[in-house]
Structure 1
Amino acid sequence: MDDLEATASLPPWTLIQGLLSLLVAFLTYLAAERWYLHPWRLSRVLREQGICGTSYQFPAGDLKQSGQLNAEAWSKPMALCHDIIPRVIPHVHNTIKEHGNICFSWLGPVPKVIIGDAVSVRDILSNKLGHIMKFTSKRSGELLAFGIANHDGEKWAKHRRILNPAFH
């Protein structure tokens, strides 16, 4: 009974302080999950599948290196040839050169799988099993018109059948 009376006589700020510390601990866990643990797990899964890539760098991934490579590529005049990839997307070109035709890079805490082989791209995009989902973003969806590029599933197939004769 004395313990109950001692607990009841605690100042109210200790309860508030305890709740705030729980909230801070929970928010710290969420931040660690989003910015460290989840990218680490994704990197491990990709490497287990045989896909090599750059290591994750907190918090922006490869954005700093990408910016440096872009600045370096744009500082030099462009050669008079048709090989524009090192100038337009130097980070992707560098990653493919270092890690092979199928590799990954980091865009913040999200891995970006890069496929540099045209035959593999054709096989992946022609796969009708539905494993490849379209990237959807609420922000870009508001800016873009709702055309065939934004549709998925049956709606995409219907629009594709309608538009296909125009391209052949």
Structure 2
Amino acid sequence: MKKLLKRYRVFLIVLGAMLILTIVNVELGVKAFSVTGYSLKEMILVIPPIFVLLGLLDIWVPRETMIKYMGEGSGLKGIILAIFIGSAAAGPLYGAFPIAAVFMKKGVKFSNIMIFIGAWSTTKIPMFLFEVASMGTIFAVTRLLIDIPGIIIIAFILSAVMTDDEVKKLYENAEHFDD
């Protein structure tokens, strides 16, 4: 029981705070529970398909293939593939992190994982098409031409700034992702 309480302590603290908020201000408390319910529903609709795709990725794509195309010696090929996979992805950003964990388990280079997450958050194809329709081709292409080098630069800076021990710890934590 103690282990269960420790595991869910943050959830219980937030739930308690929301209950106190509801007692103090009913309207605001109801709104908070409504927003929480909406977010929970969105997550329930998004997370299962992501985990199905993760399972397929984990089973169908051998580690050697991932290392060859996105590992330490992948070079430009790994960068382009990371940008393409991140740009083609669907769903909110929190969906990228389980995929990044599987990439880590498969031996993908750290900077390519950072590029993948950056591409997922800023260069999605549907977002690009929306920008073309809403704000014009010049704006959309300009933003994309600024974002892609920016993502790559940030990924390389992060890779350079983080120590080998920190990166190793991240990879070790990813090994226990599905425990």
- TM-score relative to the length of structure 1: 0.28
Larger Rg: 1
